Amino acid sequence: MTLNAVREPATPRPGPAPRRTMTPLMSACVVLVVAMVAATNLAVPKLAAGNLHPSATGLLWIVDAYVLTFGCLLIPAGALGDRYGRKGVLLTGLLTFAGGCLLSAAAPAVPVMLAGRLVTGAAAAMIMPATLSLLLQVTEPARRPQAIAVWTAATGVAGAVGNVAGGVILQWLPWQGLFLTGAPAALLLAALVARLAPRGERHDAALDLVGALLLTLALFALLFGIIEGPERGWGSIPVLGGFAGAALLLAAFTWHALRAAHPLLDPRIFAGARLRGGVLGVTAAFFGLFALFFVNAQYLQYAKGCSPLVTGIAILPLVTGMVLVSRRSVAPARRFGERAVLAPGLLLIAGGLGLLSTADAGTPYPLYALFLVIVSVGMGLCVPTLSIGVMGALPPGRAGLGSGLNGAAREIGSALGVATLGTVLGARLTAGLPPALAGRAHSVGGALAAAGGDAAARAQVVRAFTDAMTVGYRVVALIVLVLAAGALSGFGPKNTE
């Protein structure tokens, strides 16, 4: 199958204005919902010191409730857009996103904050699949691969945008400012969508509520195990119960889907090597990227002494390769074969992570920035082609499902990357702390606080952190390589016309 074979239903040829406006508009919607993940990580210190007084576990859920709900509901939300219209679902998602942000900003206690985060995550799940489906609807078939590349670049750049924008906001405003900024941004985008976006096509997509429930619960249980593992212990009953529940629920979902007349997600679609490779490759790429996002802010603040604003700006080199390479990666993939682009892209991600593992407190920032650029070039090379592979492997009326599946792979990969690096980081940090601090702190910030003004002890804490970061990055890079091998097996060395 070629890159031109992104199968979409025939649509009337749009004029130039819709194409010019829809691409930046849909990309802006994507940036908003993905950037919120990165921006919230920067708000953790202010949340910890704020009026909510969250526990360590409470802080973790404030950060992760959003991505958890986002990832779990992407596929059902994509089917919802296929059936009832993508424009309506997108508008509903943007308005709900604004409401969730306002609820989070007004939260007087942690439970209310968590409710706001869950609402916002559900809204993000409605927004993401609808944006790609509407963009493809107004793009003629010959230009759809380029449209997918631009949309994909937006998903990658959004993490860096969230770091920069979050750093600017949090430098001068309390944590509430982050959510009070997100609400009007969502309302503005909703107004533009209502005015500029065409009516979305509708297809007879089965909602399959039973399948949606089973799949959502399975992903919830899986991510519960991943998120709670570092805090509760990987051998604890709740964590093992989460993984066991995920396995049982996935088995139940598969059993149901194989027997349903119109399943939400037919497991038999994964018999196609191209779809399997695309999903696995997206998972690998974002596994590495969000592991980087997780540790980057800590490295720059704890090891390099940067403020939130400087930390946000310092991630900008990660944007460079995604912006410059993403739009240019489709043509070489079409000419030389997808594997010729995917292999170096995935290798650059793993290689960049390996180079980042050599950083310590004395590493010059220009060298660190170069390592970030290497990862970003890898993302720009491989992610557009992987997304095209996922979308092109599905039937004409399932664009929403394809977008949802692509997004779910991204979010689950992101959660796995954060959990993996966080687990290694926590274990190695505790082992490397000075004996006087080892029993009093379980995080870098806590260890530095316990060290107080003792410069030698603080230097030991930073060294323990960078040593743990080294091991974590290398573990993540190795896993990316293993996943990359599986992904490449789904793509031939040369496209056939």
CB 497, CB 490: distance < 8 Å: no
403 and 326 together in one domain: yes
Same domain, 182 and 224: no
41 CB-side CA count, 13 A: 24
Residue at 4 is within a domain: no
> What is the pLDDT, as a whole number, of residue 223?
74
CATH value at residue 280:
1.20.1250.20
232 & 302 share domain: no
Does residue 165 fall inside a structural domain?
yes
If one counts the domains in the chain, the total is 2
Give residue-wise pLDDT tens across range 78-134: 778 777 788 889 999 999 999 999 999 999 998 999 999 999 999 998 998 888 878
Last residue of a domain, one of 263, 278, 309: 263
Q: Which residue has the tokens 């059936």?
A: 83
Give dist(CA 175, CA 154) in Å, integer.
25
Q: Which of 340, 281, 273 is nearest to 484 (CA)?
A: 281
Dist. CA 298–CA 427, nearest whole Å: 16
In the prediction, which pLDDT does 470 show? 93
Same domain, 64 and 108: yes
First-to-last C-alpha distance (Å) of the chain: 7
Whether residue 32 is found in the same domain as residue 133: yes
* Closest to 133 (Cα-Cα) out of 148, 149, 154, 155: 148
Domain final residue pick, 247, 263, 279 = 263
Structure letter (DSSP) for residue 38 = H
Are 186 and 115 found together in one domain? Answer: yes
Q: Is residue 80 part of a domain?
A: yes
| Residue carrying the six token digits 């995550």 | 121
| Structure confidence by residue, pLDDT tens digits, 454-478 | 778 788 888 888 998 999 999 999 9
Most confident of 98-112, 151-165, 410-424: 98-112
> Which residue segment(s) compose the domain that 233 sits in?
209-263
User: Residue 171 above 90 pLDDT?
Assistant: no
State pLDDT tens for residues 193-220: 998 888 766 666 667 778 878 877 887 7
Cβ count near 453 (within 10 Å): 6
Contact 256, 210 (CB under 8 A): yes
Work out the pLDDT band at 221, boundaries 50, 70, 90: confident
Looking at the structure, do residues 70 and 190 belong to the same domain, yes or no?
Answer: yes
Q: How confident is the model at residue 397 (pLDDT cuts 50, 70, 90)?
A: low
Please write the tens of the pLDDT for every residue from 235-294: 889 989 999 999 999 999 999 989 887 777 778 888 778 888 888 999 999 899 888 887
pLDDT of residue 55: 65
In a domain, 204, yes or no: no
Q: What is the DSSP string of 258-275?
A: HH-SS-SS-GGGGGSHHH
Residue 274 sits in the same domain as residue 259: no
| Cα–Cα distances in angstroms (integers) from residue 270 to residues 152, 173, 393, 394, 455, in the given order | 22, 47, 10, 10, 55
Alpha carbon separation from 407 to 328, 349, 354 (Å, rounded): 22, 19, 26
